[in-house]
Structure 1
């Protein structure tokens, strides 16, 4: 009898504790365009769940990753019958964003890319938009992504791009040849997010590539025209443990992207089947109240190691600020970017931020050995300074201006302008 009474008593207290520590109702406040039902759908904490502050904190971090959300707080209020009322307080971003990147093209003339994207289409954080670019020739593209279309975890992305540019191709004799490069491609992919730390994508890309000779000293055996129809399996895996507080970030993120290209055709082997893989490792740390240390290590590899039509470029907008517009190419790369960001002024929605950075990297040249990545023969080293104008209530509204100064033989320097943090 004593054992039975003890078990009954334990059950009673356990049941009472569960009743007193559960979520009775969940509310969303502060959202104007984002649908409350969508936010509740993303959250792991549901009405009737046992009260767990760790899970609530995790949901807060998850919601902060949304393009439509600038910041999230929560409050708990005790109700009758042993229930708690959980309220997520949303500070919403303006998410219809125009974009503009300005640079010089490979003719030394004016080049630009303009775009407009809605990162909160239908109030469900779907992405829809497109771009137009002028880089000697005209390019355009259109995108639609709905990461949570089918379920809280499963979505879809579709895009079409028609990219045309003047591309320099570098050869062993030191000459470079300019080609008109045209890449038309349609891509569809599935997106799966098992939890807010992990995200996977798997897709199919169908397209064509054309190279047409424009100018330069064409080496013997290199054709004036190349064409290939391509089918590629594309994928991405992201591990994200970043905590965001307005312009500040802390934590670690890893983004692996890969592309397996097949189905080529033509009279040459220069655009043959190959594999491309790239992994970005990013680490951010808050320094005091106004500082942020940001780091990115990029490792890249392509199996078409002998083709001069190499996939990885040394470029202002991609990896080395101040280097210029596509000054070299490679079939493997190690790039490290590190910068310190300091908030100089902050008032309401506006932030003025300065940064000091070092961009450095090495490349394997077409036909070269992997040892080139560590022997120093292809190293680029560019320290520099920059400034940021940030709007805290508009998604990714970071207007950046950087000046990179190259150190070493044949080094250059220059200004890089863009929207969004460099990484």
Structure 2
């Protein structure tokens, strides 16, 4: 039966497409995911011209959804002449997923983030959940994201966050530790132009609260500061990745631009910030996967101790420590080779060897700061991935990074999901 389906579909594809129509789109294998949702976002519908390229695009989109582990299709002749039924076969993911990130260094720093998310709320591929973080202080967040809330193209995201951390503030070649709190509320519109291009745009209202704890002081650097801000955000993504369970191939680019308006122009003036993440993935044989991420970031170059780009274990350099430096521009490269060591049924064990490297521009400095050895960090390392292939993002990650540049640290980074 499967061979007959393929043969018929090949005949249809090479024939005059105007003569062949879709009688019906049928969804199989889905349990929690609503059939009506799949039909809402699919190009293939009853009455349209049978087009193999549209079917392939639907399947690639379905395989990207958190609620779907794998998708395939079949085509069979219908009762009426020149009409065909198209079947989309769905393998669902389990989508109520805990999240966890734990990171340490040889300086005995220890921090963690625990969360719980539903990625297929109401069977509509809506993400809802939140996290609790302990990084000296307590933090939490609640997130709602519905990319197909209104149509295949238009959705909505709403986020609330109350984040408190100990932040190093750098000035006069010295360091002070501050208790930093950021309480924010964000609303974003989500728009998908086509399969590969999408846009997010919206506004974030937040309050930053800095409270001096220890370290150096300076009359020009306040020991307490509370500032209300408004952030306008624009994100543009080009995504041409193709997924096959834990394997990824293709290219992706994410551009993030923000304008931040402050009520205190003296200490925290208005500024612009933008960065682009370039990601490239390549399959090697049946088990190998090369993964790369390059981040280029640039912000208004104010000489401020509160610069926006951070150097951090859980963001960009594995093993470097918890927020050890800041800058007004950044270049970061993460490259790793992932290899499947063992695979059977739903389980896969993946090993990886990586190199994380980055450099930053000092606040008020120039682009020559990127070549300064004090700003350069290079951390090679090894890691393991324990993967459940039928649960969305069920990848338990453990990496150990060792610095090879001057005054480096080393440390473990645990987490859920691939590092990038």
Length-normalised TM-score, structure 1: 0.92
Residue equivalent to 2:82: 82
Deviation string 1:333-376 (CA, Å, 9 cap, x unpaired) is 00001000000100000000000111111100122112222455
Q: Which moved more, 1:159-168 or 1:287-296?
A: 159-168
| Contact preservation (8 Å) 2:106, 2:410 | no
User: For the residues of structure 1 that align with 2:221 and 2:272, how far apart are their CA atoms?
Assistant: 22
Higher relative contact order (CA 8 A, sep 6+): 2
| Contact preservation (8 Å) 2:41, 2:151 | no
Q: Which moved more, 1:245-254 or 1:20-29?
A: 20-29
| Contact preservation (8 Å) 2:109, 2:321 | no
Deviation string 1:98-134 (CA, Å, 9 cap, x unpaired) is 1111224999454221110111111011111111111
User: Does residue 1:133 correspond to 2:133, yes or no?
Assistant: yes
Instruction: Give how far 1:86 is off.
Output: 0.4
Residue equivalent to 1:154: 154
| Contact preservation (8 Å) 1:106, 1:325 | no
Q: Which moved more, 1:337-346 or 1:325-334?
A: 325-334
- Structure 1 unaligned residues grouped into runs of 5+: 1-15
Length-normalised TM-score, structure 2: 0.93
| Contact preservation (8 Å) 2:101, 2:413 | no
1:276 aligned residue (273, 276, 279): 273
Residue equivalent to 1:215: 214
| Corresponding residue SS for 2:241 | strand
Over the aligned positions, Cα root-mean-square deviation in angstroms equals 1.7
Instruction: Give how far 1:51 is off.
Output: 1.5
User: Does residue 1:114 correspond to 2:111, yes or no?
Assistant: no
1:325 aligned residue (322, 327, 334): 322
Deviation string 1:221-243 (CA, Å, 9 cap, x unpaired) is 11111121101111211110000
Residue equivalent to 2:407: 410
| Corresponding residue SS for 1:195 | coil
| Contact preservation (8 Å) 1:312, 1:331 | yes
Residue equivalent to 2:61: 62
Residue equivalent to 1:309: 306
Q: Return closer, same or farther for 1:286/1:18 CA change in 2, 3 Å cut-off.
A: closer
**Matches for 1:167-316 after TM superposition, within 5 Å:** 167-173=167-173, 175-262=174-261, 264-266=262-264, 269-316=266-313
User: For the residues of structure 1 that align with 2:107 and 2:355, how far apart are their CA atoms?
Assistant: 27
| Corresponding residue SS for 2:340 | strand
| Contact preservation (8 Å) 1:170, 1:176 | yes
| Corresponding residue SS for 1:351 | strand
Deviation string 1:237-257 (CA, Å, 9 cap, x unpaired) is 111000000000000000111
Residue equivalent to 2:22: 23
| Contact preservation (8 Å) 1:102, 1:111 | yes
User: For the residues of structure 2 that align with 1:59 and 1:164, how far apart are their CA atoms?
Assistant: 42
Residue equivalent to 1:4: none
| Contact preservation (8 Å) 2:105, 2:409 | no
- Structure 2 unaligned residues grouped into runs of 5+: 1-14
User: For the residues of structure 1 that align with 2:153 and 2:52, how far apart are their CA atoms?
Assistant: 22
User: For the residues of structure 1 that align with 2:221 and 2:373, how far apart are their CA atoms?
Assistant: 29
Residue equivalent to 1:7: none
| Contact preservation (8 Å) 1:298, 1:336 | yes
How many residue pairs get matched? 405
